C-alpha cells in the first residue's frame, strides 16, 4: 500500500486534532470547573499584562537603583528554569498522540513533524509573551539600537521554544533512564543552592551578560541561543523518532520490580491491601514517579526553603512549609488513591473486600508516609532552622490527621481512569485534573489562615494544629466508615468513570 | 443461591441494552448464556455482579437486594475480563489476596489450588512473572482459577473458553462439569461456544437485542436448535 503524501497528511491530521481538541473541551470538565479555570486564566493574563506594561512601578520598590530592563535581564535565565519546571509538571508529550496513527498508511516522518509542531500550540508558550511583549514595547524599545530590540525579543522567543523542546527531550529520555533525572536534579539543586547561599550570583551574572549584550546588538550571544534551540529541537525530534520506532515492540519484564515481601497471615485482608498499595507504588511507572517526586519535594526543595533564612518569617509561608515537609506525598499521591486502582477496580468490588478495609489500608499508608517524610526532613530542619522543629512536629500530626482526610475526600470523588503501567511521558498527570490542582487551595487554606490569625502567639497555633490532627487521628475509625459509605454510594459512577479511556 | 432479576432495564441513549421483565436462577442450577455480539450478555453479567446499575428494576440474591447487601461477594467467584485481575501482582500474590478476602490460610489455599493443578500447574509457572506480562490465555486461566479455587456457591464466567488452548478448554469443561455436579452451586457461563455451553449447562438462556428470546432446559436437540437459530440470524441486527 502506498503511503499518503505529506500534502494530504497534514490537513488530515490537523482536521482530526481539531476534532479531538473540541471533544475534549466539551466533555472533559463540568461547567463549574470551566468557569473557575476561565476566571483563573483571565486573572493570570491580566497580572502578566499589568506587570509587562507597568513593571517599573514594581521594580522601583524592590530594586530602586536598577532599571527595569536590567532587572529582567538578570532574572531571565532563572525565569526560564522556572517555566521549564512548570512545563515539566503539566505539559504532555506528543508521543501518545502518534500511537493511533501508526498503523495507517502515513509516513512516520510526517506524523512526527506534525505532532512536534502542533505541540507548540501550548499555553506555556503563549502566556509568557503576555508579559514579554508589553515589556518589550514599553521598556526595551527605549534602550539600545533597533536591531538590539528585535534581537532581544527574538532571544526571548527562542528561549521559550527551546524550553518547550528541552522538556519534550527530557521526558523522552527519561522514559528509559529515569535514574538520570534524580542525579541531574540533585546536582542542579546543589549547584543552585551553592550559587544562592554563597552569594556568588553566577546565574544572575550570566543572564545579565547574555541578554545585555543581545540588547546592545551582539549577534554572537543570539547565535549561541539559536544554536541551543536548534540542538534541543533536533534532539527531541530524533528522540521522538526513536521512541516511535520502538512502539509496539514487546519489552522484557522488569525483574527488579518483582521483589516482594510477606505480610503476617493474621493481618488478613487489611495486610494484603496494605501490601498491594506498596507494590502498586513500586511496580508501576506513574505511581513510582509520584513517590520519588514527593520525596524530592520533602528533601531537596526544603533545603531551598529552609536555607533562605529570614524569608520564612510569614506565618502563612511557614504553614505551607509544614504542609509540604511531611505531607508532600499525601498532597501529590493521595488525591489519586482510588484512581490508581481504576484498571482493576472490578477485581476489588466483586470480591469480599469491605470498603472500610480498603479505606483503612489507604489511610494507614498515607499516615505512615507523613511519618516517613517527617523523619526524612527532620535533619534538614535541625540543621538549617532548629527554631522550626516544633512547627515540623505540629504539622506531622496535622498532616497525618487532617490533610490525609481532606485529600481522601477528594480521592473518593475521583472517577478518572489512570493506566498505571502505561509508559506515557515521564511525569504524566493523567487523572490529575484542574479540580485536583484547585483542591490544594481548601487543603492549604485552613492551616495558613490559622497560622496567620494566631501569628501573635505561634505556640498556641502549633499546639492547636497538632491537637486538631491528633483528635482526627483518634477518630480514624469514624472517618473510615464515612469514606466507606461514600464509596458504596458512588460505586457505579466510579466504575463507569474508571472503565472509560481517555481519548 | 437463588438469583432473581426483576423488571431490569438498561438503556444507553436510545438503545435498549437489556430488558428483562423477570428471570431467576435456582439454587444448584447451571445456566449458559448465549447470544450474538451486542446481545446484552456482558451487560446482563455486569448487572448481576453489581458492576453496573440498571436504570430500572432490581437484582436479588437469596431474597436480598444486591445493591444493599455485600454478603454475596464472599460466596461468589467471578471472572469477566482482565479488569478482574490485579495486573501488577504475581500469580501467587494475586491468589493469596483472593484467598485472604475469604479468610483462607496459606495451607488451605495450597490444598484448594492443588485441585486445579491439571488446569493451571502452579508448580510449573514462573512465580516471578507479573500478571500484566502473561499472555491473554494464561491471564484468563489465572482469572478463572481465582474465581473457582475458593469453592464459591455462585460462579459467573464470561467467555471462559475463548483464548484458551484446546487442552485447557477440555480440562476447564471437565472442572466445570464436576463443580456443577456439587449440590448447592449455581453457575452462569456466557459463551459463544455452543458445544461447550450445552455440555456443561443444564439450562440455556438466549439473549438477543437485550431481550430473552429463549430460556430452555437442555435436551438432546438443544445444540442443533441453537445452531439452527444462529445460522438464520441476521448478523447486522446485533451491531
Distance between start and end Cα atoms, chain A: 28
For residue A284, the chain B residue with the least C-alpha distance is: B88
- Rounded to whole angstroms, the Cα distance separating A15 from A19 reads 6
Written as one string, the DSSP assignment of B146-173 is: HHHTT--SEEEEESTTTT--HHHHHHHH
- Which of B45, B59, B90, B101 to mutate to probe the A interface, most A CBs <10 Å? B101
What is the pLDDT, as a whole number, of residue A425? 44
Please report whether residue A254 resides in a domain: no
Domain count, chain B: 1
Q: Is pLDDT at A428 greater than 70 in this prediction?
A: no
What is chain B's Cα-based Rg?
A: 18
- Rounded to whole angstroms, the Cα distance separating A429 from A427 reads 6
What is the pLDDT, as a whole number, of residue A315? 75
- pLDDT mean across residues, chain A: 83
Q: Which residues of A touch B42 (CB under 8 A)?
A: none
Q: Is pLDDT at A429 greater than 50 in this prediction?
A: yes
Please report whether residue A4 resides in a domain: no
| Statement to judge: residues A51 and A107 lie in one domain | yes
Q: What is the mean pLDDT of residues A92-99?
A: 79
Q: Which of A343, A345, A351 sits opposite B98 (nearest CB)?
A: A351
- Range of the structural domain that residue A302 is part of: 261-499
A345 near B CB under 8 A? yes
Confidence of residue B230 (pLDDT cuts 50, 70, 90): confident
Domain at B100, CATH number: 3.40.50.300
Please report whether residue A37 resides in a domain: yes
For residue B156, the chain A residue with the least C-alpha distance is: A350
Q: How far is CA A288 from CA A8, A279, A420, in A?
A: 41, 10, 9
Q: What is the mean pLDDT of residues A463-489?
A: 95
Highest average pLDDT, of A80-94, A97-111, B79-93, comes from B79-93
Q: Is pLDDT at B235 greater than 60 in this prediction?
A: no
Please report whether residue A19 resides in a domain: no
Please report whether residue A11 resides in a domain: no
Instruction: Tell if the CB–CB gap between B83 and A284 is shorter than 8 Å.
Output: no
Please tell me the distance in Å from A500's CA to the nearest CA on chain B: 12
- Which of A346, A420, A490, A501 to mutate to probe the B interface, most B CBs <10 Å? A346
Q: Which of B51, B53, B98 sits opposite A346 (nearest CB)?
A: B51
Q: Is pLDDT at B236 greater than 60 in this prediction?
A: no
Of the listed ranges A101-115, A177-191, A213-227, B209-223, the one predicted with least confidence:
A177-191
Q: Which of B86, B100, B129 sits opposite A344 (nearest CB)?
A: B86
- Rounded to whole angstroms, the Cα distance separating A423 from A96 reads 9
- pLDDT mean across residues, chain B: 91
Please report whether residue A125 resides in a domain: yes
Please tell me the distance in Å from A339's CA to the nearest CA on chain B: 14
What is the pLDDT, as a whole number, of residue A360? 96
pLDDT tens string A137-156: 999 888 777 888 889 999 99
What is the pLDDT, as a whole number, of residue B238? 44
| Statement to judge: residues A322 and A221 lie in one domain | no
Domain's final residue, options A214, A245, A276 = A245
* Chain B interface residues (partner A, CB cutoff 8 A): 49-53, 70, 73-74, 76, 78, 80-81, 83-90, 93, 96-98, 100-103, 105-106, 128-130, 132-133
Report the complex ipTM.
Answer: 0.92
| Statement to judge: residues A178 and A303 lie in one domain | no
Q: What is the mean pLDDT of residues A272-279?
A: 94
Instruction: Tell if the CB–CB gap between A346 and B80 is shorter than 8 Å.
Output: yes
Please report whether residue A5 resides in a domain: no
Please tell me the distance in Å from B99's CA to the nearest CA on chain A: 9
Please report whether residue A59 resides in a domain: yes
Mutual orientation of helices A440-453 and A458-474 as an angle, nearest 10°? 140
Q: What is the mean pLDDT of residues A469-485?
A: 96
What is the pLDDT, as a whole number, of residue A424? 46
Q: What is the mean pLDDT of residues A348-373?
A: 94
- Rounded to whole angstroms, the Cα distance separating A434 from A189 reads 28
What is the pLDDT, as a whole number, of residue B146? 96
- Range of the structural domain that residue B206 is part of: 3-238
Instruction: Tell if the CB–CB gap between B101 and A347 is shorter than 8 Å.
Output: no
Q: Which of A260, A343, A421 sits opposite B93 (nearest CB)?
A: A260
- Rounded to whole angstroms, the Cα distance separating A288 from A174 reads 13
Domain's final residue, options A245, A274, A294 = A245
| Statement to judge: residues A232 and A370 lie in one domain | no
CB of A101 closer than 8 Å to CB of A13: yes
Calculate what percentage of chain B has a pLDDT beyond 90. Answer: 70
User: Which sign, positive or negative, has the C-alpha torsion A85, A91, A94, A97?
Assistant: positive
Confidence of residue A345 (pLDDT cuts 50, 70, 90): very high
A331 vs A479, which has greater pLDDT? A479
| Statement to judge: residues A340 and A270 lie in one domain | yes
- Rounded to whole angstroms, the Cα distance separating A460 from A425 reads 45
Of the listed ranges A483-487, A498-502, B142-146, B190-194, the one predicted with least confidence:
A498-502
Of the listed ranges A145-154, A193-202, B145-154, B210-219, the one predicted with least confidence:
A193-202
Please tell me the distance in Å from A366's CA to the nearest CA on chain B: 20
Confidence of residue A335 (pLDDT cuts 50, 70, 90): confident
Domain count, chain A: 2
Q: Is pLDDT at A200 greater than 80 in this prediction?
A: no
| Statement to judge: residues A212 and A286 lie in one domain | no
Q: Which of A268, A354, A496 sits opposite B100 (nearest CB)?
A: A268
What is the pLDDT, as a whole number, of residue B55? 94
Q: Is pLDDT at A427 greater than 60 in this prediction?
A: no
Q: Is pLDDT at A1 greater than 70 in this prediction?
A: no
| Statement to judge: residues A240 and A298 lie in one domain | no
Angle at the Cα of A292 (from A277 to A381), degrees rounded to 5?
110
B126 vs A352, which has greater pLDDT? A352
Instruction: Tell if the CB–CB gap between A279 and B93 is shorter than 8 Å.
Output: yes
Instruction: Tell if the CB–CB gap between B130 and A257 is shorter than 8 Å.
Output: yes
pLDDT tens string B80-91: 999 999 999 999
Q: What is the mean pLDDT of residues A399-418?
A: 91
| Statement to judge: residues A426 and A310 lie in one domain | yes
Q: Which residues of B touch A421 (CB under 8 A)?
A: 87-88, 132
DSSP A250: P
For residue B95, the chain A residue with the least C-alpha distance is: A272
Q: Is pLDDT at A432 greater than 80 in this prediction?
A: no
| Statement to judge: residues A438 and A466 lie in one domain | yes
Q: Is pLDDT at A503 greater than 70 in this prediction?
A: no
Amino acid at each position: 500500500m502506498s503511503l499518503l503524501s505529506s500534502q494530504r497528511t497534514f490537513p488530515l491530521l490537523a482536521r482530526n486534532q481539531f476534532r479531538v481538541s473540541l471533544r475534549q473541551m466539551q466533555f472533559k470538565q463540568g461547567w463549574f470547573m470551566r468557569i473557575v479555570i476561565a476566571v483563573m486564566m483571565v486573572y493570570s493574563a491580566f497580572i502578566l499584562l499589568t506587570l509587562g506594561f507597568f513593571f517599573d512601578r514594581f521594580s522601583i520598590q524592590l530594586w530602586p537603583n536598577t532599571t527595569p530592563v536590567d532587572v529582567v535581564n538578570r532574572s531571565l535565565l532563572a525565569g526560564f528554569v522556572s517555566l521549564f519546571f512548570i512545563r515539566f509538571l503539566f505539559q504532555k508529550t506528543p508521543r501518545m498522540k502518534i500511537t493511533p496513527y501508526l498503523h495507517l498508511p502515513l509516513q512516520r516522518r510526517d506524523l512526527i513533524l506534525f505532532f512536534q509542531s502542533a505541540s507548540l500550540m501550548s499555553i506555556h508558550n503563549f502566556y509568557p509573551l503576555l508579559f514579554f511583549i508589553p515589556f518589550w514595547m514599553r521598556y526595551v524599545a527605549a534602550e539600545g539600537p533597533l536591531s538590539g530590540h528585535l534581537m532581544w525579543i527574538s532571544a526571548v522567543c527562542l528561549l521559550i521554544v527551546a524550553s518547550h523542546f528541552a522538556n519534550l527531550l527530557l521526558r523522552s529520555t527519561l522514559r528509559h533512564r529515569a535514574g538520570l533525572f534524580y542525579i541531574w536534579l540533585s546536582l542542579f539543586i546543589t549547584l543552585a543552592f551553592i550559587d544562592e547561599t554563597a552569594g556568588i550570583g553566577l546565574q544572575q551574572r550570566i543572564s545579565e551578560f547574555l541578554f545585555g549584550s543581545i540588547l546592545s546588538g551582539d549577534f554572537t550571544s543570539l547565535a549561541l541561543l539559536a544554536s541551543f534551540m536548534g540542538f534541543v529541537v533536533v534532539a527531541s525530534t530524533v528522540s521522538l523518532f526513536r521512541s516511535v520506532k520502538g512502539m509496539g515492540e514487546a519489552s522484557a519484564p522488569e525483574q527488579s520490580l518483582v521483589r516482594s515481601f510477606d505480610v503476617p497471615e493474621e493481618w488478613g485482608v487489611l495486610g494484603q491491601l496494605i501490601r498491594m498499595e506498596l507494590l502498586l507504588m513500586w511496580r508501576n511507572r506513574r505511581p513510582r514517579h509520584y513517590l520519588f517526586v514527593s520525596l524530592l519535594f520533602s528533601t531537596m526543595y526544603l533545603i531551598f526553603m529552609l536555607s533562605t533564612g529570614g524569608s520564612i518569617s510569614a506565618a502563612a509561608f511557614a504553614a505551607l512549609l509544614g504542609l509540604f515537609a511531611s505531607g508532600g506525598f499525601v498532597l501529590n499521591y493521595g488525591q489519586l488513591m482510588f484512581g490508581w486502582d481504576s484498571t482493576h477496580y472490578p477485581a476489588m468490588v466483586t470480591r469480599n473486600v469491605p470498603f472500610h478495609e480498603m479505606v483503612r489500608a489507604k489511610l494507614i499508608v498515607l499516615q505512615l508516609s507523613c511519618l516517613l517524610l517527617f523523619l526524612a526532613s527532620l535533619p534538614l530542619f535541625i540543621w538549617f532552622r532548629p527554631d522550626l522543629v516544633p512547627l515540623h512536629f505540629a504539622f506531622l500530626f496535622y498532616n497525618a490527621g487532617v490533610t490525609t482526610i481532606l485529600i481522601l475526600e477528594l480521592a473518593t470523588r475521583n472517577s478518572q481512569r489512570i493506566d498505571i503501567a502505561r509508559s506515557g511521558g515521564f511525569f504524566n498527570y493523567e487523572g490529575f485534573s484542574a479540580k485536583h490542582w484547585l483542591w490544594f487551595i481548601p487543603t492549604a487554606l485552613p492551616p495558613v489562615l490559622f497560622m496567620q490569625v494566631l501569628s501573635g502567639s505561634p505556640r498556641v497555633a502549633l499546639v492547636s494544629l497538632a491537637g486538631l490532627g491528633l483528635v482526627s487521628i483518634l477518630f480514624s475509625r469514624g472517618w473510615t466508615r464515612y469514606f466507606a459509605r461514600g464509596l458504596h454510594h458512588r460505586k457505579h459512577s466510579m466504575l463507569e468513570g474508571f472503565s472509560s479511556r481517555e481519548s | 443461591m437463588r438469583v432473581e432479576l426483576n423488571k431490569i432495564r438498561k438503556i444507553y441513549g436510545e438503545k435498549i441494552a437489556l430488558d428483562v421483565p423477570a428471570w431467576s436462577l435456582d439454587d444448584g442450577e447451571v445456566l449458559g448464556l448465549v447470544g450474538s455480539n451486542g446481545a446484552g450478555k456482558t451487560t446482563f453479567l455486569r448487572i448481576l455482579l453489581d458492576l453496573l446499575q440498571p436504570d430500572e428494576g432490581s437484582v436479588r440474591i437469596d431474597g436480598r437486594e444486591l445493591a444493599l447487601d455485600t454478603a454475596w461477594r464472599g460466596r461468589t467467584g467471578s471472572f469477566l475480563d482482565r479488569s478482574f485481575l490485579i495486573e501488577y501482582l504475581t500469580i501467587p500474590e494475586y491468589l493469596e489476596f483472593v484467598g485472604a478476602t475469604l479468610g483462607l490460610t496459606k495451607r488451605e489455599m495450597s490444598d484448594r489450588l492443588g485441585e486445579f493443578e491439571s488446569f493451571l500447574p502452579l508448580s510449573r509457572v514462573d512465580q516471578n512473572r507479573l500478571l500484566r506480562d502473561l499472555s491473554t490465555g494464561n491471564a484468563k486461566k489465572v482469572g478463572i482459577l481465582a474465581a473457582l479455587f475458593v469453592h464459591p456457591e455462585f460462579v459467573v464466567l464470561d467467555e471462559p473458553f475463548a483464548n484458551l488452548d484446546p487442552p485447557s478448554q477440555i480440562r476447564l469443561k471437565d472442572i466445570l462439569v464436576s463443580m456443577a455436579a456439587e449440590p448447592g452451586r449455581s453457575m452462569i457461563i456466557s459463551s459463544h461456544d455452543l458445544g461447550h455451553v450445552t455440555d456443561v449447562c443444564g439450562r440455556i438462556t438466549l439473549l438477543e437485542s437485550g431481550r430473552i428470546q429463549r430460556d430452555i432446559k437442555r435436551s438432546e436437540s438443544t445444540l442443533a436448535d441453537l445452531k439452527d437459530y444462529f445460522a438464520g440470524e441476521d448478523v447486522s441486527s446485533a451491531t
